[in-house]
Amino acid sequence: MKDKLFTVLLLMLYFYSIAQKTVVVYPASERTYFQSLTYTDSLTFDKKIKSILAEKQNKGFLEYSIDSLFIKQDTLFLHIWIGKKYIFLPLQYNSEEIKNPPNYIKPISNPKQIQAITEKIIALYMQKGYPFVKCKVDYQITSQKENYIYQPTIRIDKGSKYFFDSISFIGISSNASKLARKIIDIQSKDVFNQKKVDNVVRLLQNSPYFEQCKIKEMRFTTQNTVHLFIDAQTKKANYIDGVLGIAPANAQQDKTQITGNLKLNIVNPNWGGKTLYIQWDRLPATSQNLEIKFKQPYLFQSPLDVQAQLSIQKQDSTFLRRDLQSKINYQINGFWSLEGGLFNRQSYSTLRNSFRRDTLSTPIIPKTQNLIFNFSQTLYAIGIKYFSLDNLYAPQRGADILIETYTGYKNIRKTQGIDTEIFENLNVRTLVYALQAKYAQYWRFNSRQVGVVGINAAILTNPYLTLNDLHRLGGLRTIRGFNELSYFASNYSVATFEYRYFLEAVSFLSLFLDYGWLQERYQMAMLKSREIVVNNQIRYQTYQSIEERSRWYNPIGFGVGMQLLLEKAGILSLAIALGRDTQLPNTTFNVRQIKLHFGLLTRF
């Protein structure tokens, strides 16, 4: 009745006066406070008065309420009933199993906090095999002159303990069912866990193997067992994905160049979830990349995933690099995993120029030369990964986090075109340390709008970094608005902000901004000359020296994009982006430098 009267009053107040209004809370006893507040609309009145009541009730004045009210001119007068303060003593439990009770709120001052604690206790027991646990709160009340003393006791009736007996999958083969059981981490004879049941659909649909999943039935028996019946379908996880980039060859020419890549991903859920991934990239200036990955999840029915990866990069006529990596991932649960591995890199210089120690009559003007070492390095890796996206192709909720560290040694070998004197003063075995972190968070504002924030960062340290050591960035998957892999960087951080408006489940329009800080730090060769005496005459001898080159880039790219689901062809993606590097002089956002990125992903 009071709530209805309060609502009617606020409506009357809203139409009563457009002028400024004042809320005055008059003391109903000596222990009540006096406060004067000024607002201009009924909605603000409603929120503030409710906050006043909630604030006092949360402090133990549970009877604190509006006793009467009236309007005089432009002032609303509130007469408040305070009542006695309720003092809650620490919770007691009738169960000896709760050694560390979930009493996180100290001190307790109202029943809502006790209700929150009982909900935590129920969730705790439901994760330990007691799906029908009950919690009842009893109070012992002692009345004093100004207070009520409450001693709450939580009485727990945990009921019978249940175990999973069988998990039946409907719609998929027996081999795929074995894989699905590993994904949901529920096996026969396991203790019942409601939290695992709640995560079943999410884990299955987040995997690359299954879709259209739901729990059809959860059957409890008199033998204290639970039978799960789950509907699922094998996902069309095999796909061919191509990206085409069209961009000017450089800022001074009107000619265009075509870049892009092609991906092939083959997944077989009926054979333990084996995955084969092949990617080929066509980069500017006759550069190419080839990457091949193989993954075997749940090796020998264990929580271990084994992965092998081969990557070959050819950078125009400068160098050739081969990376070989093996990893072992340990699945902690459906979202978290730890990984460790071994990384080996072999790099070879393909520069055709050679160095000659000439004797000259006049000194040469110092000039820079490419310095590409032949080297090999072996690094040991350890990392952690978290993945909770609700959709692989168009996520709307969840996070994707990866943190990896690498450490090991780099061994430099003598290289054609480099002065042997350099190697005499060079430490050919040096320590390498690398850190890489990726983070992407998706927020669903409503059924159609999604916000995306991402961070991609890396650190690479070594006293003799050359161009063939560095990371490659730029293009559709790192910094849109720039040519594919057009930047070299030893350290970098790239932030991404994106707004997506969904048309359908995987179709959306987007606005995006990519903002990066990149450090390009590596060793260059300087060709110089020094005085020598030949036949009592001063001559000049050419030689090479190593000098460090370090500069920063600040690329900013923004644009619009879309992703459309074509019924037969697959998923079409398009991004139109402009980019500018604020660290480069005389650069502006030039429409003639616009980048178009096309992609088509076909599942089969």
Which pLDDT value is given to residue 99? 57
Of the candidates 296, 297, 265, 258, which has an alpha carbon nearest to the alpha carbon of residue 279? 265
Strands (E), 46-183: 65-72, 75-81, 85-88, 92-93, 134-143, 147-157, 163-170
Do 289 and 283 contact (CB within 8 A), yes or no?
A: yes
Which pLDDT value is given to residue 140? 84
b/e sequence 301-317, b meaning 16+ C-beta within 10 Å: eeeebbbebebebbbee
Helices and strands (DSSP H and E) totals, the chain:
7, 32
What stretch of H or E contains 556? Answer: strand 555-566
| pLDDT tens-digit series, residues 274-331 | 899 898 877 666 678 889 999 999 888 888 999 999 999 888 888 899 999 999 999 8
Rounded to a whole number, what is the distance in angstroms from the first to the last CA of the chain? Answer: 62
Model-level pTM? 0.74
Distance from C-alpha of 419 to C-alpha of 545, rounded to nearest angstrom: 9
Which pLDDT value is given to residue 108? 75
Which pLDDT value is given to residue 34? 46
- For tokens 């650190």, what's the residue? 459
Low-confidence stretches of the chain (pLDDT < 50) are 1-2, 5, 8-21, 26-34, 104-105, 251-252
Task: Indicate the residue type of 250.
Answer: N
Do 163 and 226 contact (CB within 8 A), yes or no?
A: yes
Do 495 and 511 contact (CB within 8 A), yes or no?
A: no
Strand 134-143 relative to strand 374-387: parallel, antiparallel, unpaired? Answer: unpaired
Which pLDDT value is given to residue 35? 52
Phi, psi of 323 (to 5 degrees): -115, 135
Which pLDDT value is given to residue 282? 74
CB count, 10 Å around CB of 539?
17
Q: Where are the alpha helices (DSSP H) in 265-419?
A: none
Domains in the chain, CATH or no CATH each: 2-81 (3.10.20), 85-157 (3.10.20.310), 163-234 (3.10.20.310), 239-603 (2.40.160.50)
Query: What DSSP string runs through 478-510?
Result: SSTTS-TT-EEESEEEEEEEEEEEESSSS-EEE
Which pLDDT value is given to residue 490? 95
Q: How many residues does the chain have?
A: 604
Which pLDDT value is given to residue 309? 95
Which pLDDT value is given to residue 225? 94
